[in-house]
Amino acid sequence: MKSSVIVFPGSNCDRDIGVALEKMQFKNQMIWHKETKLPKSDLIVLPGGFSYGDYLRSGAIAGKSLIIDEVVKAANDGCLILGICNGFQILTETGLLKGTLLRNKNLKFINKDIQIKVINNKTKFSNKYKKNQVLKINIAHNEGNYFTDSKHLQDLKENNLIAFKYCDRKGSVNDQSNPNGSLENIAGIYNSNKNILGMMPHPERMVDELISNTDGINLFSSLLN
Amino acid sequence: MKFSVTVTLKKDVLDPQGKVVQNSLLNLGMNLENIRQGKYFELEINEKDQVKAEKKIDDMCKKLLVNLIIEDYKVNKL
Amino acid sequence: MKITNQIIENHGLNASEFENIKKLLKRDPNLLELGIFSAMWNEHCSYKSSRLHLKKLYTKGKQVIQGPGENAGVIDIGDNDAIVFKIESHNHPSYIEPYQGAATGVGGILRDVFTMGARPIALLNSIHFGSPSHPKTKSLLNGVVSGIGGYGNCIGIPTVAGETKFDETYNENNLVNAMAVGLAKKDKIFYSKAKGINKSVVYVGSKTGRDGIHGASMASAEFDENTEDKKPTVQVGDPFTEKLLMEACLELMKDNSIISIQDMGAAGLTSSSVEMASKGSLGMELDLDKVPCREKNMTPYEMMLSESQERMLLILEDDKEKDAKKIFDKWDLDFMVIGKTTDTNNLTLKFNGKIEGEIPIEALATKAPIYDRKWIRKKISKNKINLKDLKKINMEEALVKILSSPNHSNKSWITNQYDQSVMCDTAQKSGSDAAIIRIHGKDKAIAVSVDSSANYCKSHPLTGGKQIVCENWRNLITAGAKPLAITNCLNFGNPENENIMGEFAECLEGIKEACEFLNYPVVSGNVSFYNGTNQKNINPTPVIGGVGLINKLSKPISHNFKKDKNVIILVGKTFGHLEQSCFLRENYKIFDGIPPDINLLNEKNNGENVLKLIQNKLILSSHDISDGGLILALCEMSISSSYGAIIKKPQKLTNLFKYFFGEDQGRYLLEVEPSNLTKVEKSLKDSNIYYENIGFTQKDYFEIEGELKINIKDLFKINNEWYNNY
């Protein structure tokens, strides 16, 4: 399977996702944001980091780069798009995903291992996970507080477009297990076609037992399935 | 009484955000000589005397809203 | 402009230094030249008070590729890999503007590392604040932590370890020491020595503004009532631009275009150009019209002394300019040829076609003043503390007092604000004795730790100096790493005070002695003097940052107990030294007394053997014993796990407080599975190491037989309360 990782000035987790993709046997290319054409890809990744320093608004400036037009075209053609952390922020700024990522409720950057629950396990990104499976995964962000209007929230629920929710070790979704104040503990969502996934936690940080754990592996295996 | 407070970076202080935003506008075909990013607050205060109100707003700026080391501010009655 | 005495004083130079300048120039300096001398001759750049003493340090070893004298130190970790690292202070700016002071401190140390061709792979910090009840402490703490996180997270380098301490000695003088560690190829290290005549001198990075003009002079002055007026000199960091600069430099370094490279740190363009030329015994001519400026109408004085961040100076091979410029254009950074190397041995500054200043390079570098400041040895107090006079207290009370204190409370409130996992090679995070970073794409790893003991250094500088090196060494051992080398940040008060200078000299003696014995050389470092306000100086605070090597990384053992019914071995003899202990400070506010002795032979022997046992996979968890003694170390091993311990009362020492809270050095705790006990004991006995089996791990409770029994969930609560309520 072919993947392309878009690298913006200030992207930091590009090497990390590149390593994870290659470990999972993807044929991966790193694409500099000034390129005007994307190679034929099955999966396009917008990685984590601080594109453009998070200046103005996180993901705002990257969302206006030329390469994004190509990403939008590919998305409309049904290509799989994965936005991780800053990548999720960029997807909301472009409108490919609805809603926005606000400042964390406690106004501080949070780096922690937390738990998320797999809400929809029937997508290209999640079919190797069990329904309601609890994953231990790393978050590292200042603006991870997902918010959207009530109409879109209803749409997300009715069409099973919520990908992951923050929960505790037992899988309970509640205030205590919500690290950043996200609406209804939402940690990741799909678009209506379910070919675009935006998520705040970092699956690429969870593919190595020596460093952390391997709870992230099945996201990539699902894609290869 | 309503006031606005505009907070800007002091003249010689680096504005990393302004620099990047300017370049991005340029890339979108929009040219600017310079852009500096600041903050804008609107405050409503329960005080009928304007002089007293302005003093209170000024205190708020000095104590919290403004980083006097690197920022300047302007208070306007709305 | 006529140079008046007031102007000379404003530039931080004294009358005899000014006479010296006149002699070296064979005439009076103009204002631009005076400014340049003031920047290069202040304490921060010239090390005039410390150079003589720094020569004493132990800096050699097979593992040393580059010792002190370059932008950072370099050590060999085998396989053509090298580690480049250094620690530096940014104390005075952090007091004035804590966020930006801390942020630019991180930025500066990162540049020192990547300027040598190393991709930074870890950040550490040692931060010290005044008493928590002091009105400024909270905002300083918040600002500094946000600044460190804001810069490190944005540039994408994990901040993996550190220490945060509170003591009223830092009330008006908080300390921020930032350490960076980078990975390079041994055959691709870049140095700052200029080579060749008529080579292009290139400026890259951010434009120059009026930031921090005379910041280096500020670092060399004590704070007083007029400090508030010095405010506008604080620089603002731009981590996004630094990320671009780092990537651009590392990309350029892939080939052989760079002859020499230096970052513009303290004293900006002045120090970088002078240092590069001086090392190469060359001259340099700069055309200041070419310097990329952010503000209009900047004068040569401002351009030479500006401390705008995120800038580097390069000397390129002939014909490499065009290709190099392409790289910097890609990353949207300024790239400008601003001068050339010459054979005149002068720093020649041109502006608008005129020579505005001309100074012999050596006058600024090797001929900078060196002072042999008067110093006196610390008079060691002979008063013994009589424990019998102390108010009775029970063990649990004493323990809780320490566990809930700001200095020993759990610091995840701080560390959760730092991204520790970016780059996906952090195998062990902060909270343990040392952090462990895997070498990307390889089986091996490095362990890193940063430590200080200001209380020990105050009461007995010689012992204190030895102790911090040993404690740092032990922290790497328990991570399973062979300690290789250190960097040191020496934070002291006013060197013109002979007591302070004595503390400096003696701490260095102690550091040297320990380094030499343990084969643990100093490869880089920084001195920060004048940490004082209105005649009150801080306690001597040397900070040691150490790096060790783990040849084959397996899942790190960390210090939390792993399972119940395992044996707990205490390696090293306990004499019960309570003086200068955390126990006496927290429970009785007693700050007198001398620290425990250091027995370097035992330190070495114990450490080498513990390392061997860990490498042979005979140990499940390990921890060194320092502040708070045995009981605190045991609690730390329990709190971070689901298992506590049941500890026997000691048979020999009858005073329980001495046994459990004494801070004797050279000791370790090991958790050993019963099936491995015989092997472990044999190894220790064969090496003549004193050890005791002090008890067993158990579920749920931390217990000292007949004395104390606490649920570890309660210990956790006590240890996690302080920051959340601050």
Interface probe, candidates A56, A65, A90, chain B, greatest B C-beta count within 10 A: A56
Sign of CA dihedral C437, C439, C443, C449: negative
B12 and C CB contact within 8 Å: yes
Overall average pLDDT of the A118-136 stretch:
97
Band of pLDDT at residue C58, cut at 50, 70 and 90? very high
CA distance to partner chain B, nearest, from residue A55 (Å): 5
User: Catalytic positions of C, please?
Assistant: 44, 90
Asked casually if ipTM beats, i.e. exceeds, 0.95, the reply is: yes
Backbone angles phi, psi at C619, to 5 degrees: -120, 135
Q: Which residues of C touch A (CB under 8 A)?
A: 146, 149-150, 153-156, 238-241, 243-244, 330-332, 415-427, 438, 553-555
For the stretch C485-496, pLDDT in tens is: 999 999 999 999
Contacts of B14 in chain C (CB under 8 A): 206, 209, 211, 235-236, 238, 294, 308-309
Poorest-pLDDT segment among A174-188, C229-243, C559-573, C635-649:
C229-243
Lowest-confidence segment of A39-48, B25-34, C579-588, C615-624 by average pLDDT: B25-34
Whether A152 is catalytic is no
Question: Nearest chain A Cα to C436, which residue?
Answer: A211
- Is residue C230 scored above 50 in pLDDT? no
Output the six-digit token pair for A171: 């899988």
Q: Do A108 and C146 touch (CB under 8 A)?
A: yes
Q: Does B28 touch chain A (CB under 8 A)?
A: yes
pLDDT tens sequence across C332-368: 999 999 999 999 999 999 999 999 999 999 999 999 9
Instruction: Please name the residue of chain A whose CA is at the shortest distance from the CA of residue B16.
Output: A55
pLDDT at C235: 87
What pTM did the predictor assign? 0.95
Q: Which amino acid is at A103?
A: R
pLDDT at C148: 98
Q: Which of A108, A111, A210 is nearest residue C421 as measured by Cβ atoms?
A: A111
Tell me the chain B residues in contact with residue C241 when contact means C-beta distances shorter than 8 Å.
16
C427 by Cβ neighbours in 10 Å (0-12 / 13-18 / 19+) ranks as: buried
A55:B20 CB<8 A: yes
pLDDT at C221 (0 to 100): 58
Question: What is the C-alpha separation between C666 and C602, in angstroms, rounded?
Answer: 6
Helix axes C98-114, C137-155, angle to 10 degrees: 40
What pLDDT digit, counting tens, does each position of C203-216 carry?
999 999 988 775 55
Q: Cβ(B17)–Cβ(B37) under 8 Å?
A: yes
Cβ <8 Å between C97 and B70: yes
Of all residues in chain B, the one with the smallest CA distance to C228 is: B69
Task: Please pick, among A70, A85, A141, A143, the residue that the annotation labels catalytic.
Answer: A85
- What string of DSSP letters covers A155-203? HHHHTT-EEEEEE-TT---SGGG-SS--GGGEEEEE-TTS-EEEESSBG
Q: Which two tokens stand for residue B19?
A: 């620099």
The answer to whether C32 touches C306, Cβ cutoff 8 Å, is no
Determine the Cα–Cα distance for residues C603 and C689; give it in Å rounded to an integer.
10
Pick among A36, A50, A61 to test the B interface (most B CBs inside 10 A):
A61
C-alpha C428, offset from chain centre:
19
- Neighbouring subunits of B (3+ Cβ pairs under 8 A): A, C
Which pLDDT does position C214 carry in this prediction? 58
Q: Measured between CA atoms, how close is A50 to chain C, in angstroms?
A: 6
Which ranges constitute the DSSP H helices of C201-262? 215-218, 239-252
Percent of chain A exceeding pLDDT 90 equals 97
Spatial separation of the C-alpha atoms in residues C60 and C75, rounded to whole Å:
11
Of C244, C416, C555, the CB nearest to A111: C416
Over the stretch C405-437, which tens digit does the pLDDT of each residue have?
Answer: 999 999 999 999 999 999 999 999 988 899 999
CB C272 within 8 A of CB A41: no
Written as one string, the DSSP assignment of C162-204 is: EEEEE-GGGTT--EEEEEEEEEEETT--------STTPEEEEE
Interface test with A, best of C99, C154, C332 (most A CBs within 10 A): C154
Find the DSSP H helices in C428-569: 454-459, 461-477, 498-518
Q: Any chain C CB within 8 A of the CB of A55?
A: yes
Q: How far apart are alpha carbons B65 and B5 in whole angstroms?
A: 9
Closest Cα of chain C to B28: distance in Å?
Answer: 16
Strand arrangement, sheet containing C435-438:
C426-428, C435-438, C445-452, C541-550, C482-491, C522-528
Report the distance separating Cα C654 and Cα C334, nearest Å: 70
B37 lies within 8 A of chain A by CB = yes
Burial-class residue C7 by CB neighbours within 10 Å (0-12, 13-18, 19+).
middle
| B23–C238 CB contact, under 8 Å | no
C309: nearest CA partner in chain B: B14
The answer to whether the beta carbons of residues C221 and C333 sit under 8 Å apart is no
Residue C384: predicted pLDDT: 82
Confidence of residue C446 (pLDDT cuts 50, 70, 90): very high
> Over chain C, what is the mean pLDDT?
94
Alpha carbon of C244: minimum distance to chain A alpha carbons (Å): 7
pLDDT tens digits, one per residue of C699-724: 999 999 999 999 999 999 999 999 88
- Whether the pLDDT of residue C218 is over 70: the answer is no
Please write the tens of the pLDDT for every residue from C23-55.
999 999 999 999 999 999 999 899 999 999 999
What's the token pair of residue C708? 């104390």
Closest to A186 in 3D by CA, of A149, A144, A154, A217:
A144
- Given this model, what pLDDT does residue C231 score? 42
Whole-number Å distance between alpha carbons of C109 and C118: 12
- pLDDT class for C389, splitting at 50, 70, 90? confident
- In tens, the pLDDT along C636-684 reads 999 989 899 999 998 876 789 999 999 999 999 999 999 999 999 999 9
* H-state helical runs in C253-341: 268-279, 300-305, 321-330
CB pairs under 8 A between A and C: 87
All residues of chain B having their beta carbon less than 8 Å from the beta carbon of residue C294 are: 14
Residue C209, token pair as written in the block: 């503004």
A chain contacts of residue C239, beta-carbon cutoff 8 Å = 50, 53
CB C518 within 8 A of CB C608: no
Q: Flag whether pLDDT at C228 surpasses 90.
A: no
Taking the Cβ of residue A211 and every Cβ of chain C, the question of whether any pair is shorter than 8 Å is answered with: yes
